[in-house]
Structure 1
Amino acid sequence: MKPTLLPAFLASLLLCTPAIGAGTIWISNVKLVSPEKLDRVETGAVLIEGGRIARVERGPSGPAPAGASVVDGKGYYLTPGLIDSHVHLHAVPGMSMEQGASGDSLAQAYFRQLPRSFLYYGFTTVIDLAVSDFGVIERLRKAPLHPDVFHCGEPLVLANGYPMSFYAPDKRFQGFGNYLFDPAMPTLVPEQFAPSAHTVAAGVARVAKAGGICVKTHFERGFGADRNLPVMSPAKFAEVRAATTRAGKVLVTHANSFEAQSFAVAGRADVLAHGMWHWGALNGRPGLPPEIKALLDKIVDQRTGYQPTMQVLYGLRAYVEPGYLDDPALRKVVPASLLAWFSTPQGQWFKPEVTEGEIDAAVMQSMEGPLRRQRAVVAYLAGRDANFVFGSDTPSSPTYGNLPGLNGYREMRQLHAAGMSLAQIFRAATINNARTFKLDGELGSIEVGKAANLLLMKTSPLEDVSAYDSVLTVWVRGEQTAREALAADYR
């Protein structure tokens, strides 16, 4: 994901949403669906006090505690709030970095709606994997209604590697404050940017000081016209692994190829922040080659967190997908003004980069190979019950095909079609994410003492993936909001 710096215009982007304050709330007559007790989906009740779960009752419940606000769940399903562990909060889908940072009124409208769009689809917690402007994080946290926000701080980027390579050589070192040098990968560096201040220890310390819960790294040789970027050596990655462990953080690695995931698994990364859509010399092989299976077996055995991020490619396909912009679901998560702009010649600026001169049908067809490979990998890992951790990569690039909240729901649908069971998807978006990112003392299940981040759904997420589009009520730290009030087109 390309980082950018956003100016202070976002300071005013706060939008009030009708909500009930976090007091004492008794939610009764609900079926409890919690990932640590999937064998016990039964009618019960939950007491919220001071934004936390104070009591969980399974089976027939007694009367509401004195003074509590009573919520009749009408026999619907109460679940933990969802966690999306791969977002990029600074970027405006469909806009260039420069336009998103310009103070454009369309960008302002997007940022006002942003927190509500995640909540609309039940994502009460998000993790930003690569912060380029901490002001964005702070302003989002100060919004009247917003998901819990965690982050990995500034990513540890190899000098002149991905994603520094998106910037001109004379600007890229100013844009990335946490770059690293690897003696095994010599590269040209301007004199004023001294290696001594950019050791692995210093980089991890910057992340910790900024409040990051994870450290983000990359193994990416490039794509398009630039396929020879420097990558970390095993020795340098081992330094990062050791420093991250000492700091008590989670090591996340951008790795979307067989080569990259082999490297990251050998180096004991905690999370692979992408699916494997590039198999290198194995791309044309039918089925799942033995070499791929052997790597996937290691991922399972090491309990490496795995984010398939299938919506990355589907997000690019939006520019050649007939009727994409007419989908009513877009109106729920994007302001009308921005949605209308997407259809203009200016709003279509990114399409030539996606199509590279090919006709729409050819572009659609060209993505079938990577998607086939991703589906095969997901199906195999699902069959072995791998440690899937849900992440949508929203937005993965300047495409308008990855919209907040909706992108997560569509990721779930793609994962289910690829072979993940409904229980695996539910665990990936709740307890697996919480445990892998060391947040399970606070989030991920309906248990006493945890934050009251909860969803009331009409349909059980264990019965149909469409349940994630049946949310009725959202609680964040005990604050209750009707889903309909979160929509961009709410009046």
Structure 2
Amino acid sequence: MKLPHLIANLMICAPAMAGQTWITNVKLISPEKLDRIESGSVLIDNDRIVRVERGSGGKTPAGATRVDGKGYYLTPGLIDSHVHLFAVPGMSFEQADHMQTMAKEYFAQMPRSYLYYGYTTVIDLAAGSREFIDRVKAMPRHPDIYDCGPPLVFANGYPSSYTPPAYRFEVFSNFIYDPAQADKIPARYKPEDYTPAKGVARAKKDGAICVKTHYEHGFGAQRNLPVMSPAVYGEVRAAATKDGLTLVTHGNSFEAQTFAVNGGVDVLAHGMWHWGTLNNSPELPDEIKQLLDKVVERNIGYQPTMQVLYGLRAYVDPEYLNTPVLSKLLPPTMLAWLKTPEGNWFKEEVAEEGETDETVRKNMESPLRRQRQVVAYLASKNANFLFATDTPSSPTYGNIPGLNGYLEMQDLRSAGLSLAQLFKAATINNARAFHLENDLGSIEPGKVANLVLMKESPLQDVRAYDTVDTVWVRGKPMARESLAVGQ
């Protein structure tokens, strides 16, 4: 590294910015003023924005540290509202426990990988371990983290069904008791302690800002899982309203999203790639359009999570693990292991026995087509899109923190979102949906100083999201290259 470059990096990464910081010579892009993309400056006092000036740069305030933005584009920090921090992409929980050194190396890098692509805030929709979340928050460089606390699951339903019955109710301890399954629930769990209201209250007590529920009959070997009734869901809705929590529901089918919309959901946690009996329709059916019109009318937050499917398809993409940036986002030992036969273990779950890679790709095209059609329709109606990746959606190495967000951006753009819709989805829309708009989502005085400096404008090309120069989290700056593995 050349000495001037080194000195510049040391200056921009220096933690000695106690007090005020003056970021100047930037073009301001904030969702509440997309009609005014102009040069300006931002004054930060510790962790808050205290002044925003548009037009001439003006003088550096006395005593403030001046940061020259080089004419680049300053945006609010990006928000990914659907992550799972406790999971290791490409590993089962058993493998992560067996290869603890590799897992620890991954977790040490994971929060930096989100920051590498400008995600200064993430929301964990199923934070099963408060201790783990607190450990990540204690790391020197990490995004702001919010969560839904332990997911509120229906007894023996998804996703608890994938945990052995012997300890299922210990792992998924925040569940809703189902009297019809009394013989399948250990006697020590009393119905009066596991009502919808008490489940929501447990999430609230745990510090959650939302509550995560599910409507999922299952897939693969499990296709007849129990789901809650409309009456039970109504109790969850009432409790979430009472406790001031955003109600999020997992559901990727027409049936599931109909159930959630009719029940008053705030946020749909997936796109719709299962249309049930309408799967073979080449065009978007009128029945689905009518449901999506309700999503728009009610301003329901919609998380397309297109990388769920593309992340699975990575196992039949021979070049995915050779993506150059992966060496900056994953520890070298882990990246090398993922390229071994052992590291490709999950491919057996993606491909049926005897299927070729080409067959798998072909079979995935139909659900991807359906998903794109739904997203395109919602985009044409200017729906309330929320940027979310579901990272990792399963034990797939196709959902790497940071990169997964950048790929989701490209997926959404290709599916029909405008660059302005995409930008709002990753900033103010997410902030509002999760009641964080007083602190996040725009560049305005009084808000938390979570900012991203990009070399190119995200309103001109989606590839701008890969031109991050510097990120600020609560007023603390980090040069992008300082966030890569080994730095």
TM-score normalised by length of structure 1: 0.95
Structure 1, residues 137-186: CA drift from partner, whole Å, max 9, x if none? 10111111110000000011000000010012222111111010234677
Secondary structure at the counterpart of residue 377 of structure 2: helix
Q: Supply the distance in 2 between the matched residues of 1:22 and 1:240 (Cα, whole angstroms).
A: 45
Counting aligned pairs with the same residue, the percent is 64
Matches within 5 A, 1:246-261: 246-261=242-257
Q: Distance in 2 between matches of 1:107 and 1:135?
A: 16
Could you say which residue in structure 2 is the equivalent of 1:20? Answer: 15
Structure 2 vs 1, CA of residues 101 and 196 (structure 1 numbering), >3 Å: closer, same or farther? farther
Q: Secondary structure at the match of 2:184?
A: coil
CA distance in 2: counterparts of 1:179 and 1:404, whole angstroms: 29
Aligned pairs for 1:17-416 (under 5 A) are 19-23=14-18, 24-102=20-98, 104-183=100-179, 188-357=184-353, 358-416=355-413
Shift of 1:61: 2.7
* Deviation string, structure 1 residues 246-287 (Cα, Å, up to 9, x no partner): 000000000100000000000011000000000000000011
Amino acid corresponding to residue 329 of structure 2 in structure 1: V
CA distance in 1, matches of 2:294, 2:16: 46
Equivalent residue number for residue 13 of structure 1: none
Q: Distance in 2 between matches of 1:184 and 1:290?
A: 36
Alpha-carbon separation, structure 2, partners of 1:393 and 1:402: 8
- String of CA shifts for 1:367-422, please: whole Å, max 9, x gaps: 10000000000000000000001100000000000000110110000000000000
Q: Which residue of 1 is the match for residue 434 of structure 2?
A: 437
- Work out the number of aligned pairs and report it: 474
Residues 139, 22 of structure 1: alpha-carbon distance in 2 compared, 3 angstrom cutoff: farther
In structure 1, the residue corresponding to 2:432 is in which secondary structure?
Answer: helix
1:470 maps to which of 462, 467, 470 = 467
Equivalent residues of 2:149, 2:208 under 8 A apart? yes
What corresponds to 2:423 in structure 1?
426
Q: Partner amino acid for 2:33?
A: K
Distance 1:201 1:73, change over 3 A: same
Q: Secondary structure at the match of 1:253?
A: strand
Alpha-carbon distance in structure 2 between the residues aligned to 1:21 and 1:193: 53
For 1:185 and 1:60, the matched residues in 2 are separated by 68
- Alignment-mate amino acid for residue 475 of structure 1: W
Q: Secondary structure at the match of 1:367?
A: helix
The SS at the match of 1:473 is strand
**Equivalent residues of 1:160, 1:187 under 8 A apart:** no
- C-alpha separation between the residues in 1 aligned to 2:485 and 2:86? 19
Are the counterparts in 2 of residues 331 and 489 from structure 1 also a CA contact under 8 Å? no
Contact (CA 8 Å) 1:53, 1:450: kept in 2 or not?
yes
Whole-angstrom distance in 2 between the partners of 1:174 and 1:472: 44
| Residues 297-333 of structure 1, C-alpha deviations (whole Å, 9 max, x = no match) | 0000000000000000111111111211111021121
Matched, 1:455 2:455: no
The letter of the residue matching 1:208 is K
Q: Displacement of 1:429 after TM fit?
A: 0.3
Whether the 8 Å contact between 2:17 and 2:65 is mirrored in structure 1 is: no
Distance across 2 between alignment mates of 1:104 and 1:346: 16
Residues in 2 aligned to 1:440 and 1:254: alpha-carbon distance in whole angstroms: 23
Superposition deviation, residue 62 in structure 1: 1.5
The 8 Å contact of residues 93 and 402 in structure 1, kept in 2 or not, is answered as yes
SS of 1:85 mapped into structure 2? strand
Q: CA deviation at 1:101?
A: 3.4
Deviates more, 1:110-119 or 1:66-75: 66-75
Contact 2:179–2:191 (Cα < 8 Å) also in 1? no
Unaligned regions of 5+ residues in structure 1, if any? 1-16
Is there any run of 5+ residues in structure 2 with no aligned partner, and where? 1-11
Question: Secondary structure of the equivalent of 2:378?
Answer: helix
Asked whether the equivalents of residues 23 and 69 of structure 2 are also in contact (C-alpha less than 8 Å), the reply is yes
Q: CA deviation at 1:225?
A: 1.5
**How many angstroms apart in 2 are the aligned matches of 1:291 and 1:426?**
30
One-letter code of the match for 2:123?
I
* Conserved 8 A contact 1:184-1:233: no
